[in-house]
């Protein structure tokens, strides 16, 4: 049975760490512990009540309180695997429950393909991310006002991309999921793949419903889709 949707206040989130999983300090940890070793650097949120807000390291506890408020849903890209665990751990509240919608998880469940935000955004919005994560980490490590401004703009752009994708979904439009390259992980050269472009359909709340090819052939449909 499909879960009943409760009216919630959505908080859109994007964050960055000041460490990379490839840093020597991080690779010394066992693989299962590396995520918890990452240090929170910066986050940007957007919600209807407070608008745009930036959160630095000294505000991580207040950020977690904001994200874990009752009747609130956190919306973002790859937030269940990355942003929320890191923020919760750095706020020393890793077990506090947070209601969340991870658009990357919904898309992967529908298409059985893993996508970067940049790829899906460019296919549906005609624009993508500002910078590579490693460059943003460098800005956060520098810590000067100009670098922090650029890092904030990067996070804000990512939040806006997710907001705009969700706006398409809430207006009943499917998301195009282009075929990915098979030879490496670079997803921008879509002409060099035999994967078909797919369309994923969602409920207004962002839960995936079905996935089909461009001819309308059904690929997969959610088993517990409401019949009424």
Q: What is the pLDDT of residue 1?
A: 32
Q: Which residue has the higher pLDDT, 224 or 67?
A: 67
Q: Give every CB contact of residue 47 below 8 A, 6+ residues apart in sequence.
A: 9, 10, 11, 12
Q: What is the average per-residue pLDDT within 94-122?
A: 94
Number of domains in the chain: 1
Tens digits of residue pLDDT in 152-178: 999 999 999 999 999 999 999 999 999
Residue 22 is assigned to a structural domain of this protein: yes
The top-scoring range by mean pLDDT among 35-39, 108-112, 177-181, 194-198 is: 108-112
Residue 71 is assigned to a structural domain of this protein: yes
Q: What is the pLDDT of residue 5?
A: 45
Tens digits of residue pLDDT in 39-70: 999 999 999 999 999 999 999 999 999 999 98
Residue 69 structural domain: 9-165
CATH number at residue 14: 3.30.420.10
Residue 190 is assigned to a structural domain of this protein: no
Q: Print burial letters for 97-113: b (CB count within 10 Å at least 16), e (below 16).
A: ebbbbbbbbbbbebbeb
Distinct helix (H) and strand (E) counts, the chain: 8, 9
Q: What is the pLDDT of residue 54?
A: 97
Residue 1 is assigned to a structural domain of this protein: no
Q: Is 34:21 a contact under the CB 8 Å cutoff? A: yes
Q: pTM for the full model?
A: 0.88
């Amino acid at each position: 049975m499909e879960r009943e949707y409760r009216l919630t206040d959505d908080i859109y989130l994007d964050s960055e760490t000041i460490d990379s999983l490839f840093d020597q300090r991080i690779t010394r940890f066992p693989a299962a512990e590396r995520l918890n070793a990452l240090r929170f650097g910066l986050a940007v949120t957007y919600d209807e009540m407070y608008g745009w807000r930036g959160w630095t390291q000294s505000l991580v506890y207040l950020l977690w309180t904001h994200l874990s408020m009752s009747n609130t849903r956190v919306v973002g890209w790859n937030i269940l695997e990355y942003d929320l665990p890191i923020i919760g751990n750095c706020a020393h509240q890793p077990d506090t429950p947070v209601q969340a919608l991870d658009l990357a998880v919904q898309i992967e469940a529908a298409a059985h393909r893993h996508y970067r935000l940049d790829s899906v955004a460019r296919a549906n919005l005609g624009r993508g991310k500002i910078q590579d994560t490693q460059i943003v980490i460098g800005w956060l490590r520098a810590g000067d006002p100009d670098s922090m401004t650029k890092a904030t703009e990067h996070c804000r752009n990512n939040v806006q991309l997710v907001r705009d994708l969700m706006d398409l979904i809430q207006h009943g439009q499917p998301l195009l999921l282009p075929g990915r390259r098979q030879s490496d992980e670079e997803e921008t050269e879509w002409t060099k793949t035999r994967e078909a472009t797919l369309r994923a359909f969602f409920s207004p709340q962002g839960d995936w419903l079905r996935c089909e090819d461009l001819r309308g052939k059904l690929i997969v449909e959610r088993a517990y889709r409401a019949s009424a």
